[in-house]
Structure 1
Amino acid sequence: MPMITGPLKWYTVASRLEQAIYAELTVTPARHGVVPGAIAWDACDCGLLAVSVGRIHPTEQFPNPAQARIGNSCDAPWEAAEIIMQVVRCTPTADNLGNPPTVADLDASAQEIIRDAYEMMRAVSTTLCEMNKAREISDFVMRPLVAQGPTGACGGNELRALVSLPRN
């Protein structure tokens, strides 16, 4: 396949990663998709898979941002974008009487979130590797997966990856 280009190139990459994660998850969330800007944890009770495009920068040497023009070129030949992926689940909270969640509920929640982390890492790694081998992207670097929350009744995982494409 040809390298991904054009005005929606970063949406294309984000969408492919969202679809790959969704297909890999054992428990698929009802809400999933590519979202603009920062990922909001609205109504995480049914689960949420959200992918967003964060920072985009020109680069001469991926993944480093270009610091100055090199030679006579007008701009760096590559762009790098940070793709942000989150899977968020409902986490146990205190009941109406203020009693803390049971250890069994906390354990079940931990298992679900840890399984999500494994499945996210596997889906993103496999997809980006396949896209790189097919020369759909020029390069990629996965960042560490980071547990999120719990905040309120939500918790989950965030994974970020830097992907490089031509500047056109």
Structure 2
Amino acid sequence: MITGELKWYTVATTLEAAVYGALTDSPDRHGVVPGAIAWDACDCGMLAVSIAQVYPSENFPAPQAAKVGACDAPYEVGEVVVQVIRCAPNAEGQSLYPTTAALDASARQVARDAHEALRAVSVRLCEMNDARDISDFLVRPQVIQGPQGGCVGSELRALVSLMRN
């Protein structure tokens, strides 16, 4: 079981490595980031993983609603966010809009990234659960994000349960 003060960082780095290794077109920028994931430079793409929240739970995945006896809940649940971001097509030359070919290529890239990220996270969490590194997990719906600020991509969230220590 993953434990210690850096247990959530360990979960995040494990998932980041799994997704990075699964991407057909791996971005140069990748890693675990604190807090909300900033889309500040997607000229070369970006894979970012963050822990959005952590909460006590007596019954995964529900947050603890009330104090349990004299002790806290036996589990902590962390919400892991995985984003794969690419550049969104922009207008070129005198055109006021991107070409349909550029939009199609972007849609293909985002779809491939989303599929590869979802598969990598699902497989790795299943392996971690089988190895009893984690207590349980639940992969949430994947959402396509953007385009915004010249970027487009996918966001995947997963709930992961660890024993409290």
Alignment: residue pair count: 165
Q: Which residue of 2 aligns with 1:4?
A: 2
Q: Which residue of 1 aligns with 2:62?
A: 64
How far, CA to CA, are the matches of 1:116 and 1:43 in structure 2? 18
Alpha-carbon shift at residue 84 of structure 1 (Å): 0.4
* Runs of 5+ unmatched residues, structure 2: none
Tell me the TM-score normalised to structure 1 length. Answer: 0.96
How far, CA to CA, are the matches of 1:97 and 1:104 in structure 2? 17
In structure 1, what residue type is equivalent to 2:110? I
Q: Among residues 120, 127, 134, which one is paired with 2:117 in the alignment?
A: 120
How far, CA to CA, are the matches of 2:149 and 2:61 in structure 1? 35
How far, CA to CA, are the matches of 1:165 and 1:41 in structure 2? 29
* Runs of 5+ unmatched residues, structure 1: none
2:22 counterpart of 1:14: no
Identical aligned residues as a percent: 62
Q: Which residue of 2 aligns with 1:74?
A: 71
Alpha-carbon shift at residue 98 of structure 1 (Å): 4.3
Query: 1:78-89 residue pairs with structure 2 within 5 A?
Result: 78-89=75-86
How far, CA to CA, are the matches of 1:152 and 1:103 in structure 2? 19
How far, CA to CA, are the matches of 1:18 and 1:148 in structure 2? 19
How far, CA to CA, are the matches of 1:95 and 1:65 in structure 2? 49
CA deviation profile, 1:86-132 (whole Å, cap 9, x unmatched): 00000111124343111111100000000001000100000000000
Tell me the TM-score normalised to structure 2 length. Answer: 0.98
Q: Which residue of 1 aligns with 2:152?
A: 155
In structure 1, what residue type is equivalent to 2:66? A
Q: Post-superposition, which runs of at least 4 consecutive aligned residues in structure 1 deviate over 4 A?
A: none
Q: Among residues 44, 47, 50, which one is paired with 2:48 in the alignment?
A: 50
Q: Which residue of 2 aligns with 1:28?
A: 26
CA deviation profile, 1:14-34 (whole Å, cap 9, x unmatched): 000000000000000000000
CA deviation profile, 1:62-97 (whole Å, cap 9, x unmatched): 000001123x34111100000001000001111243
How far, CA to CA, are the matches of 1:129 and 1:163 in structure 2? 11
Alpha-carbon shift at residue 152 of structure 1 (Å): 2.2
